[in-house]
Amino acid sequence: MAPASTHWDLAVVGAGPAGAAAALGALHADASLRVALLDRADFPRDKACGDGVAPHVLDLLAGVGVTGLVDDRVPVERLRLGRGGLVAERRTARPAWVVPRRILDARLVDAAVAAGARLLRHRVRDLRQRTDGVVLDGEFPAAVVVGADGAHSVVRRALGRSRGPVALALRGYAPVAPGRRGVQVVEFGTRHQPSYAWSFDCGDGRANVGYGELLHGDRPAPTRAQLFERLEALLPGAAEEGQDWAGHLLPLSTARWRPPAGRVLLAGDAACLVNPLTGEGIHYAVATGIAAGRSAAAALREGRPERAGERYARVTRRILLPHLRHTALAARLARTTGGIEAGLRASAADQRFFDDLVELGLARGRLTPTVALGLGRAFLTPVRPTVRTREPA
């Protein structure tokens, strides 16, 4: 382990997907950089999450030299969306993987360490900016810092940045129910909007199961007992048979993305980047982590580390802003029963609509003309009591 007195080129706070990706992005750009990856936990460690890994995440990681991450996992090629009796199930354009965070995060940390990062077990509590750099807890000086320390980010608070809308979710693991094998299941709530329960087949006889809903400032957050009750109502057997339960907050993205300037960057959940339509955050974490690492490396190479944030802002705005605006609009539609049901009916009717909707919820998709036309037709089509469409396996 390197001594705390080392002056780091880049210090990354948090070694989850965003933090490991930041280290990988920086070291792929310049393998000579001194990069510290600080986390309060030893790896492997659990993290509450839906565990879904979109193929886009693997594309990004391949770009920084990380391959084979899910070679021993079982791909999931089908997605089922439902609400009450309305169901649309189709094969996705590309398979996804369900990888418990205990496995995924440890593999990403190993990749970052193999690339040259130093993993230090340390819980960061304080950040001080100076004219010549940034100091963490008075003992970790660095030219640039990336805050990748999650929903309760110490780095974000040190920058005086507030958190926007949040959702609350409960996650566990349960035996895969017979009707949910080989598929990612999302069942939207009928009483609380927006909300949904999920069951994602891990491929080992278990499923990652859970329930989440948007928190409203004018009403109290649901209790743990209420979360279990709502999960069981939507996915019978999931709450009763599950174990290893953990709750977590999801800081949701909005139409505005304004990263800070200077030497301190934010990535992933710390930057409040969780898809408000689906709760997906791993793609955002890896995408912004890599961008942060590359931006830091470029600014250091030019001898202008104070311009790292400026570089990062240009890159992330270009790749994220249109998408974030579209997901914000889609999330508003999803807060209504009519919007959810129109999306389900259109998904059942048109594979292209389904594919574009998945892209919007998992990666960098937008509200395409296909989605707009499909929603329009669905809103105008008389509603049948039950529509159940499944593409043949």
Give CA–CA dist 108/19, Å, rounded.
9
What is the β-pairing status of strands 52-53 and 243-251? unpaired
For residue 390, the model assigns a pLDDT of 54
Amino acid sitting at position 75: P
Complete DSSP assignment for 26-86: HHHH-TT--EEEEESS-SS----S--EE-HHHHHHHHTTT---TTTTSPEEEEEEEEETTE
Instruction: Judge whether 34 and 9 are in contact, CB under 8 Å.
Output: yes
Residue 262: how many CA atoms within 13 Å on its side-chain side?
Answer: 14
Pick the CATH number of 8-47+56-68+102-162+254-322 from 3.50.50.60, 3.30.2040.10, 3.40.50.300, 3.30.420.10: 3.50.50.60
Give CA–CA dist 13/36, Å, rounded.
8
Q: Which two tokens stand for residue 345?
A: 């009916």
Q: Which two tokens stand for residue 81?
A: 């969306």
For residue 379, the model assigns a pLDDT of 84
Instruction: Domain ranges for the chain, please list them.
Output: 8-47+56-68+102-162+254-322, 327-390
**Radius of gyration from C-alpha coordinates of the chain:** 21
3-state helix, strand, coil in the chain (%, to 5): 40, 25, 35
How many residues belong to the chain? 393
For residue 392, the model assigns a pLDDT of 45
For residue 385, the model assigns a pLDDT of 42
Q: How far is CA 192 from CA 24, 100, 189, 215, 233, in A?
A: 40, 28, 6, 10, 12
Q: Which residue is associated with the tokens 């004219």? A: 131
Give CA–CA dist 105/44, Å, rounded.
7
Three-state secondary-structure class, residue 25? helix
For residue 6, the model assigns a pLDDT of 78
Give CA–CA dist 138/118, Å, rounded.
18
CA angle 124, 126, 128 (to 5 degrees): 125
For residue 5, the model assigns a pLDDT of 60
120-157 core/surface letters (b: 16 or more CB in 10 A; e: else): bebebeebeeeeebbbbeeebbbbbbbbbbbbebbbbe
Compute φ and ψ for 280, nearest 5 degrees. Answer: -75, 135
Amino acid sitting at position 309: G
Amino acid sitting at position 112: A
Q: Find the helix packing angle between 17-29 and 55-62, rounded to 10°.
A: 30
Give CA–CA dist 210/238, Å, rounded.
8
Task: Return the H-helix or E-strand segment holding 4.
Answer: none
Largest CA distance in the chain: 69
Among 174, 240, 239, smallest CA distance to 201 is for 174
Mean pLDDT by 10 residues, the chain (393 residues): 72 98 98 98 95 97 97 96 94 97 98 98 96 95 98 96 93 94 94 89 96 88 94 94 94 93 97 94 97 98 97 93 94 88 94 96 92 91 52 48
Instruction: Judge whether 112 and 31 are in contact, CB under 8 Å.
Output: no
Confidence (pTM): 0.94
User: Count of H helices and E strands in the chain?
Assistant: 11, 16
For residue 266, the model assigns a pLDDT of 98
Q: Output the CA torsion 279→284→286→291 (10° steps).
A: -170
**ω into 194 cis (within 30 of 0):** yes
For residue 98, the model assigns a pLDDT of 97
